[in-house]
A and B are shown apart, each in its own frame.
Chain A
Amino acid sequence: MEPLISIQIQGDRPCFLPGDVIECDYQIDAVLPEELVAVEASVLWYTEGKGGEDMGVHYFERRLPADAEGDLRQWRRFQTALPNSPLTYTGSLIQVHWCIRVRAILKHGKQYCCEHPFRLGRVGLATLSE
């Protein structure tokens, strides 16, 4: 059975501006505590589109059972100030997306991952004006 990963952005904000502080909670459920080897939470951007996929990690934390009194499933909150760039963008060949990604690493190398998207900045859609 796959573990359940919940991610929640404080205030349910879908859009942030550069420099804003994003505060986020996450929790892992439906898995035995001894099954969890590590949990990684990151705030990152990635590209989508015709080109190869690029990715940049702005915030990253990796927690081991020793960091959480043996139980990595409990609620955890972190916060970080968002960078000035790159902004969320939906272009013709390129799209830049921001998200919070939580990855649960289980015994025997199994991994489960959950994402919560959000927008950074207010860039419009790419439209060709001639």
Chain B
Amino acid sequence: MARRFRFWEKKRGDRRTGSKMVGSAGEAAFFGSLFLFGTIAMAALWAPNPWITTGSKWLVGMVLASLMFIGAGGFIYTLLLVGTTTERRRALAKRARDIDLLTDALPSPRDFPNVPRDVNLTNSPGIKLAYRLPIIGSPSWRLLVVGTFTLLWTAMVSVLIILAVRKYLVGNPDWYLTVLVIPFAAVGVWAIYYWLRLLLLATAIGPTSLEISDHPIYPGRDYRVYLTQAGALRVQSLTISLVCLEEATYRQGTDTRTERRRVFEDVVFTRENFEILPGIPCEHECDLQFPTGVMHSFQSDHNAVQWRLVVRGKVERWSKFERVFPLVVYPAHQPRPVIDAPSVA
């Protein structure tokens, strides 16, 4: 940690190379001066002043009141943090989380901290196996977003085309507008083509459903998986893969970026060159032997380990499609009853 004051310091996310004390002092000074400015300006505002009318007085007063509120809040918060170490703050936060009334609303079960809850994965019973897994990123949402964009873009381009044609008809052509309309119309045509293609894909490929015999998943145990794929198509290949992703969120300057990396992939099932007929979906039940010695599902503020089953298909005359079904993996070790750590904060 730097001991001396520096004008420039490196910063990545929440980590700084500069002195913490100087940083806190600067923060307190900023919020303190904000509060001071708000208070003085508020006092000046309510003093007799012929230039400010009663209507604008209230508006300016509200702005100044918010400055006072932000300044006072920030100043008090900074002072509270000065004498508190990171561990103590985290311990106090943990103690608040352990209040029984809040435990159900937390993202992790109490016995497995930082493992995501699996409530949304077990609330839908399957037809053949215990649970029907939900799908991430349903194609209907993509269809809706692309459809809305296409509609708005086409409406805008139509207005521009009508304006351009009208100017031609009255004998006063606007060349700038015509040049502008050509690329806009090209984007519109591409958007319509892309949306129609998505629509055809969604209707021809049909819904994919995946069921699992038990949940949550424990490494080293065996499970059954049941896949149904509806539609009317000739399939070149259909696979189910077990995939593990790491996800890291970090700040770069003022941007927040997320990087994902696949760290594990295992093909569970493959079938090639077959036909799915309307009303007769492709069905397949297979074993899923979950590997041992792998990391459980993990979720913290900036980092995550996610497990999922991915169904990938390659269809004749169509592009590839991919459907993702999340899983929650618990640590392999048999859980023991939780004994609360008697933290003294």
Q: Which of A52, A86, A111 contacts B85 (CB 8 A)?
A: A111
Q: What does the 1/0 interface line of B53-83 toward A look like (CB < 8 Å)?
A: 0000000000000000000000000000010
Contact residues in A for B264 (Cβ distance below 8 Å): 126-129
Partner of B293, one of A43, A61, A124: A124
**CB distance B296 to A47 under 8 Å?**
no
**Does residue A17 face the partner (Cβ distance < 8 Å to B)?**
yes
| B220 CB to nearest A CB, Å | 11
Contacts of A59 in B (CB 8 A): 341-343
- Closest Cβ–Cβ distance, residue A125 to chain B (whole Å): 9
Indicate whether A54 sits within 8 Å of B302 (C-beta atoms), given known contacts A91-B295, A94-B248, A123-B293. Answer: yes
Measured between C-beta atoms, what is the minimum distance from B291 to chain A in Å?
Answer: 9
A2 shortest CB reach to chain B, Å: 13
Tier of interface size on chain B: 35 or more
Question: Residues 44-66 of chain A: 1 if any B CB is under 8 Å from the residue's CB, otherwise 0?
Answer: 10010111111111111111000
Given contacts A18-B336, A93-B259, A129-B264, contact A51 B87 (CB under 8 A): no
How many CB-defined contacts (below 8 Å) exist between A and B?
169
Look across to chain B and name the residue whose beta carbon is closest to the beta carbon of A110. Answer: B21
Known: A54-B302, A56-B114, A92-B261. A85 touches B296 (CB 8 A): yes
| A70 vs chain B, min Cβ distance (A) | 18
- On chain A, the residues within 8 Å of B305 by CB distance are 89, 91, 94
Q: Are A93 and B298 in contact (CB under 8 A)?
A: no
A57 to chain B, nearest CB (A): 4
| Cα of A92 to Cα of B87 in the assembled complex, Å | 26
Of B88-96, B151-159, B161-169, which stretch is located at the interface?
A: B88-96
Alpha-carbon separation in the docked complex, A85 to B338 (Å)? 11
CB-defined contacts of A60 to chain B, threshold 8 Å = 87-88, 90-91, 94, 341, 343-345
Give the shortest distance, in Å, between B303 (CB) and chain A (any CB). Answer: 5
Q: Which A59-107 residues sit within 8 Å CB-CB of chain B?
A: 59-63, 80-81, 83-87, 89, 91-94, 96, 101, 103, 105
Task: Report if A105-B300 is in contact (Cβ < 8 Å); known contacts: A56-B94, A81-B339.
Answer: no
